[in-house]
Chain A
């Protein structure tokens, strides 16, 4: 049981490049989330998906797009990376109901 997995673990991009961060969970959870965490700051929600086929904006969606490919997978795409998107990105999943979220190990992204 792998829980929540994320790839890649580390990535360096040049300004203007694009990339997709991958996330998958094997716990049959309905909801999935993408957060970013910057030094000294809390987790900020980028996008979330309450169920397969639905996605909604979070607190900081600008510059990102998401795809809920199926129940297991939720990807985050940066179309044109900017230095302000340098951050640690965490994916999380959650079962339906008043339960906790489970996090992946994170992707450390640097945009130069």
Chain B
């Protein structure tokens, strides 16, 4: 079993739709969590950190469920510019981050 698992998609949604991605992690000792965005042929960039109480940044909401060991990302009012691959990232203690394989989102006009 992979340490961090994501549905690869693609998720094809119309503009204005709400879309949610989940990510599961296997190591219960994981301590910090992030969502990154990666555009085609570009480097990953931090979208948002994920806090235990859940957090929101504009149209984006991240949730953490430690009991079930999953993280979610909700995107409201999807824009064409949201089309990208979203990477779930988990940190155990120490310096290592583990990346999921990514979920591809395509927003259509």
B99 neighbours in A (Cβ, 8 Å): 42-43
For residue A34, give the distance in angstroms from its CB to the closest CB of chain B: 13
Contacts of A105 in B (CB 8 A): 42-43
Pairwise interchain contact B34-A42, C-beta atoms closer than 8 A: no
Task: Judge if A2 is at the interface, Cβ distance under 8 Å.
Answer: no
> How does the 8 Å CB contact mask read for A30-54 relative to B, with 1 for contact and 0 for none?
0100000000111101001010000
In the complex, which residues of chain B have a beta carbon less than 8 angstroms from the beta carbon of A94? Answer: 95, 97
Residues facing A in B47-65 (CB within 8 A) are 49
- Would B34 and A100 count as touching, CB distance under 8 A? yes
Considering the chains assembled together, what is the distance between the CA atoms of A88 and B38 in angstroms?
Answer: 13
Q: Counting CB contacts under 8 A, is A101 at the interface? A: yes
Contact of B31 among A40, A98, A101 (CB under 8 A): A98
Q: Mark A42-82, 1 if CB is under 8 A from B, else 0.
A: 11010010100000000000000000000000000000000
> What is the total number of residues of chain A having a CB less than 8 Å from a CB of chain B?
21
Task: Please state if B43 and A42 are interface contacts (CB–CB under 8 Å).
Answer: no
Q: Is B29 an interface residue (CB 8 A)?
A: no
Q: 24 interchain pairs (CB within 8 A)?
A: A41-B101, A42-B87, A42-B99, A42-B100, A43-B44, A43-B99, A45-B96, A48-B96, A50-B94, A50-B95, A90-B43, A90-B44, A94-B97, A98-B31, A98-B91, A99-B32, A100-B36, A100-B46, A100-B49, A100-B89, A101-B89, A103-B45, A106-B43, A108-B41
B residues with a Cβ closer than 8 A to A are 8, 31-32, 34, 36, 41-46, 49, 87, 89, 91, 94-97, 99-102
Beyond contacts A43-B44, A103-B43, A106-B43: 7 other A-B pairs, Cβ-Cβ < 8 A, are: A42-B99, A43-B87, A88-B41, A90-B44, A100-B34, A100-B49, A108-B41
